[in-house]
Amino acid sequence: MIAQIVTSLALVCFASLWKTKARYDTLFSLLLTLIFASAFGFYADAWQSGYESTYSILWDSTRSGDVSLSINSDLAVYTQVFPFFAISLIALFNNFLFRYETKKKNLAVFIILNFISLVMLITSQNFIQLITFVFIIDMLSQFLIRDINAGRRYAMYNLTADMGLFLAFAVLRGNMLNLNLSALGESVVPFHNFVAVVILLSLCIKFGFFIFHSFLLDLKSAKFHRFFLVFYLSSPMTALILTAKLLPVLRQFEPLYLIINIIIALSLIWGTIGAILIRDLKEKTVYLNMMLFSLLFKLLTYPDFIWDESFSCIIIAAFMFNLCLYYIHYFWFRETNALIVNKVHYVNPLPLYLLLAIWMALWAVVAMLLFAYTDRYTAFIMTFMVLFSLAGAWVFIQALQSDNIIKSLRTDYDHRPLWILAAVLTSGMGIMFWQNLYWYAALPALALFLMFFILSPIGFILNTNTTSLKWQHADVFKNIYDKILARPLQIIGKSLTIFVDFMFFEKTLILIINTFSGLTVRIFRRISRENALRYLLSVLITVFLLFWFLTRGLNG
Amino acid sequence: MAENLLLMIIFLPLFGSLFVALSRDNNGTGISVNAAAVAVWTLLFNIALILVLFSQMNTESDNIQYVTTFKWLLPQTLSISFGVDVFALIMILGINLALLIGILSLRSHFKNQKFQIGFSLLFLCAYTGLFSALDLMSFYVFFVIMIPPLFMQIGMDADNRIPGRFLLYNFLGTFLLLFAVVMLYCSEPNNILIANISDIKLDGQSGIWVWSCIFMGFMFRIPVWPFHYWISSVNTVIRNPLTFICANMLPISGLFGFLRFWPAAIPEQISSLTPVFAIFCAATMLYLAFRGYSLNNARDKLFSYIFIYYLLYLLGILAPTDILQRNIAYSLFAFLLVFSGLSMVAFHLEKENNKSPGSLNGILCILPKASFAYSLLISVAIGFPVSALFWNNFIIVSQVLYTNVYIGVTAVLTLLLAAAFLLQHLYSLKDNECMLPTKDTLRDVDNVQFGMCLAVMSILFLSFIKPLWFVY
């Protein structure tokens, strides 16, 4: 069923790439959204009825092995595809309703193509398909971003990560002489430590974890509704799927859990600090997502991990937090044309209070899901809940309690997009209560959030120097990257060019050869031109040497 | 019939070049519409013949097909043998297409068009002969006679002592190969097929000399350190895209030589040095990657990129297995098209930028067609999965890693660096903050060149789906 859905959607997308008049843009985006929604219906139906099938197309056959494209439909695939289907559908509706997007149809097409690539990634059973769609998703993300400055470092970082994966897969393929991913779990793979380190490094870059996150900060120059799509339909989600696929290799690396814990701890702490201190809402979103990705990565690497419905719902919930932040941006900052959270004037606080309520409900849902997934609150989850409650509450504190804000009850805002959020959340909560999920698990989460929101324990930060402009614009890791990697590489390159090409070859070797050949020519000319006897003698010596080389020289 | 087709494919460019020589120059301006038209039609016809030959070929087999043998005029014991396998024929197709791109990109470079085109067709004829040669003597003859036309092209384009250096380096290589050929014919006076070289009995010392000379002969064509300098110095003085493309195709003859001769019957003393040679290749790749990363000139970057890939293919050829031949062929074919297309646009940008000298940064913001073409070609060049380059390189790299993990890792690092500097270059060309108002008068690539870029992209994309998509 998934194969049919993917094929139909791909055909629709390629047909939609045909250029159409601007006035039909909204209509086409609606049509695409409706087609996608109906595809979602078919998918949900197939999932419920437990329909299973396997499609495999032989892409190419070489002496190095067959390369095939596989799309299989089974329970695990349905579950893994679910969050991305849901997120893409929400993104499509959002795109249709968002009045400021000028290329609605194109964005809709790229969202669907991106979704198809994610499905191909999930269903891949060999290295070639896996690495191909990792690269394709990175290419498509440039169309989602649609901003040269925002996409520049994103492309460089992801290229590095992709080449890391390329290297790891090439090592595995070369040593196992097998392209199938299923071979990974069978025995200890060759160079497993090296491969695991490379994969782990690539995943950290793609997730945008601590010290690798600065490319995500660059995305702030893209439009917000495109900006947060990159987090949940592109690079970090690719990393999530890859983690699930490559766990058998990662687990062969002994200090894996220690390294993962360190990475996650640092990302959580840095994410919290960033989300609190940085005033730019888009940068705040990056830091909040860093925290959410830490959670997802940690859950995924639990020893008894299973990607079930709860985990899929946590991904959707994480996306919904972004949707809330987007609406804050949309309702709040659109009106005032400001981007800094606590520098806003004359706003209508009503939508913000509504968003606060929605955020809290969402937070309760996440708490229930986490409890459903883990059956207990581990130390990590409790830490995450404290830090994320603090960071989440802080967004609203900054927006609502700042002295700079003058509230006014404006009513001319477009409230339609809010309905998407409310509808999705209501249905999500309905399903959870209907299934009798652990509702009591939501209580501590809500209590924490309310405590941080009302008591505002870090309120003093609002008026301290940390909010100064210089601090806000400092990009520490960009500077480190420049000083440790980019500059030295340039210096090495330039030095090599000067010393090897110019000094050694041009000014030494070639000069010596020129001088030597000139000298030889001059000597022989002087020997032979004085009189005929000398000329004859030099010819005879040459003939003798030639004869000697041809007869004895080589064997002697 | 098919054998005659192969001969036609080899010698058609020769007739084309004669027609070009007879065509009239347009009022001494350097523009030669007739010459370009003759060359384009010759190449198109040749490409059609290659496709016909492909359609009659057994593409499943790796054996040489369409073998034709003639007697040489003077030494009656020797004969000329021609024939092709899939690797050779796909290379011939790639070179024809690359030259077509080169000739079309010459439209805006007016200096000595007629002679450039004529010599490039001669070069093509020699190159096709080299790929089709099955016996040692023919191989050597074509290996040598491809140099003079290229020397003339470079000589007409550059006005300093670089062409002399080019000739000197290449003739050193060919003399070494000549020595090896003579030694082999001394041991076996009859006809020697390249495939049968392993049957020739050479005593220990002679074997080492012969194989060392063969090795060095091919080495002179490939820019492995310390032989890289001659070709880098040539590249800096070339001013038109056709010569640039031809000069940068020359190393394929060295690669092809290694592929045909190596590792047939190398004495152990030589073959044991293969890892050392592979280390030299990897070190040169690293050196070129650093060089490309640090230099700002588009052509320097392109040059570094091209030779990094050639060295990767060489590492693939040196791997102790022959299962990579097809992968190298498919990848090299795509690579030829990519670097020719990139050269076409890069030279156009360089030429336009000369109208208002300064940095090229931001130039693509006002040239939409060039921007589109260049972005697509760069995305292929850096290894995105839109051409056969992508997963065939994956197979090659995996084999290199299997042979020696350190060399393999170095190779991947250099590929990453090459991709990074190309991407960085693309972003700087598209940087709208650097756009200068004086650049408004610049001219975009014309429709023919843009169409060619789109055609190249289509071929590349189809080759990604199925490498031999044109075989029916």
Nearest to B398 among A136, A170, A491 (CB): A170
SS3 at position A180:
strand
Supply the mean pLDDT for chain B. Answer: 86
CB contact under 8 Å between B379 and A132, yes or no, is no
| Residue A57: inside a domain | yes
CB contact under 8 Å between A135 and B327, yes or no, is no
Digit-coded pLDDT (tens) for A321-357:
998 888 888 766 655 555 555 555 555 667 778 888 8
Digit-coded pLDDT (tens) for B241-267:
999 999 999 999 999 998 888 755 666
Contact B407, B282 (CB under 8 A): yes
Q: Residue A133's closest CA among A145, A121, A122, A125? A: A121
Q: What would the mean pLDDT of B86-110 be, rounded to a whole number?
A: 89
Q: B294 to chain A: which residues are within 8 Å by CB?
A: 489-494, 496-497
What pLDDT score was predicted for residue B120?
Answer: 94
DSSP characters over A146-157: --HHHHHHHHHH
Among A88-92, B403-407, B442-446, which is the least confidently predicted range?
B442-446
Give the integer Cα–Cα distance in Å for B129 and B134.
10
Has residue A545 got a pLDDT over 70?
yes
Digit-coded pLDDT (tens) for A426-442:
776 676 666 666 677 77
Digit-coded pLDDT (tens) for A368-405:
888 877 766 678 888 898 899 999 888 888 777 655 55
Looking at chain B from residue 155 to 194, which residues have their Cβ under 8 Å from any Cβ of chain A? 165
| Residue A113: inside a domain | yes
Chain B's closest residue to A492, CA to CA, is B290
* Interior/surface letters A347-374, b for 16+ CB within 10 angstroms, e for the rest: bbbebbebbbebbbbbbbbbbbbbbbbe
Has residue B26 got a pLDDT over 90?
no
* Interior/surface letters B56-79, b for 16+ CB within 10 angstroms, e for the rest: ebebeeeebbbeeeeeeeeeeebb
CB contact under 8 Å between A159 and B431, yes or no, is no
Q: A14 to chain B: which residues are within 8 Å by CB?
A: none
Give the integer Cα–Cα distance in Å for A239 and A245.
10
CB contact under 8 Å between A155 and B394, yes or no, is no
Has residue A409 got a pLDDT over 50?
no
Q: What would the mean pLDDT of B384-401 be, rounded to a whole number?
A: 88
| Residue A16: inside a domain | yes
Split into its structural domains, chain A has a count of 2
Give the integer Cα–Cα distance in Å for B240 and B435.
25
For A50, the domain range is: 1-123
Q: What would the mean pLDDT of B216-245 be, rounded to a whole number?
A: 82
Residue A280, beta-bridge partner list: A340
Predicted confidence band of residue B25 (pLDDT cuts 50, 70, 90): low
Encoded tokens for B353:
């930028």
Residue B84, beta-bridge partner list: B65
Digit-coded pLDDT (tens) for A196-241:
999 999 999 999 998 888 888 888 888 888 888 999 999 999 999 9
A-B contacts at Cβ under 8 angstroms: 132
Q: What would the mean pLDDT of B74-92 be, rounded to a whole number?
A: 85
| Residue A17: inside a domain | yes
Nearest to B294 among A62, A173, A497 (CB): A497
CB contact under 8 Å between B394 and A491, yes or no, is no
Q: Residue A490's closest CA among B73, B260, B195, B420? A: B420
What pLDDT score was predicted for residue A240?
Answer: 94
Chain B's closest residue to A505, CA to CA, is B229
- What is the 8-class DSSP label of residue B265? S
Packed helices B241-249 and B86-105: angle between N→C axes, nearest 10 degrees: 160
SS3 at position B359:
coil
Chain B's closest residue to A498, CA to CA, is B291
Give the integer Cα–Cα distance in Å for B147 and B127.
10
- What is the 8-class DSSP label of residue A410? -
Give the integer Cα–Cα distance in Å for B290 and B277.
20
Say yes or no: B401 contacts chain A, CB-CB below 8 A: yes
Give the integer Cα–Cα distance in Å for A276 and A396.
11
Give the integer Cα–Cα distance in Å for A486 and B240.
32
What pLDDT score was predicted for residue A98?
Answer: 76
Domain boundary among A101, A123, A145: A123
Dihedral of the alpha carbons of B288, B239, B101, B296, in degrees to the nearest 10 = 40
What pLDDT score was predicted for residue A446?
Answer: 83
Dihedral of the alpha carbons of B292, B298, B304, B307, in degrees to the nearest 10 = 170
What pLDDT score was predicted for residue B458?
Answer: 93
| Residue A261: inside a domain | no
Q: What would the mean pLDDT of B49-55 be, rounded to a whole number?
A: 92
Q: Phi and psi (nearest 5°) for A457?
A: -65, -20
What pLDDT score was predicted for residue A158?
Answer: 92
Contact A113, A6 (CB under 8 A): no
Dihedral of the alpha carbons of B209, B215, B216, B221, in degrees to the nearest 10 = 160
Digit-coded pLDDT (tens) for B278-289:
898 999 999 999
What pLDDT score was predicted for residue A469?
Answer: 58
Contact A284, A274 (CB under 8 A): yes
Among A330-334, B51-55, B333-337, which is the least confidently predicted range?
A330-334
SS3 at position A70:
strand
How many helices (H) and strands (E) chain B has is answered by: 19, 2
Q: B401 to chain A: which residues are within 8 Å by CB?
A: 167, 170-171, 174-175
| Residue A272: inside a domain | no
Q: What would the mean pLDDT of B116-145 be, rounded to a whole number?
A: 93
Contact B346, B302 (CB under 8 A): yes
What pLDDT score was predicted for residue A38?
Answer: 93
What pLDDT score was predicted for residue A202?
Answer: 95
N-term to C-term CA, chain A = 77
Domain boundary among A91, A123, A155: A123
Digit-coded pLDDT (tens) for B288-298:
999 888 888 88
Domain boundary among A123, A152, A170: A123
Has residue A551 got a pLDDT over 80?
no
| Residue A424: inside a domain | no
Nearest to A62 among B291, B326, B398 (CB): B326
Looking at chain B from residue 73 to 132, which residues have their Cβ under 8 Å from any Cβ of chain A? none
Mutate to test the interface with B, among A59, A63, A131 (most CBs of B within 10 A): A63
Looking at chain B from residue 229 to 268, which residues have their Cβ under 8 Å from any Cβ of chain A? 229, 232-233
Supply the mean pLDDT for chain A. Answer: 82
What pLDDT score was predicted for residue A146?
Answer: 82
CB contact under 8 Å between A159 and B430, yes or no, is no
Predicted confidence band of residue A64 (pLDDT cuts 50, 70, 90): low
| Residue A520: inside a domain | yes
Chain A: closest CA distance from residue B251 (Å): 19
Cα separations in angstroms, B275 against A20, B281, B315, B404, B405: 58, 10, 10, 8, 12
- What is the 8-class DSSP label of residue A126? B
Predicted confidence band of residue A410 (pLDDT cuts 50, 70, 90): very low
Q: Where are the beta strands (DSSP E) in A146-197?
A: none
Encoded tokens for A144:
């989602």
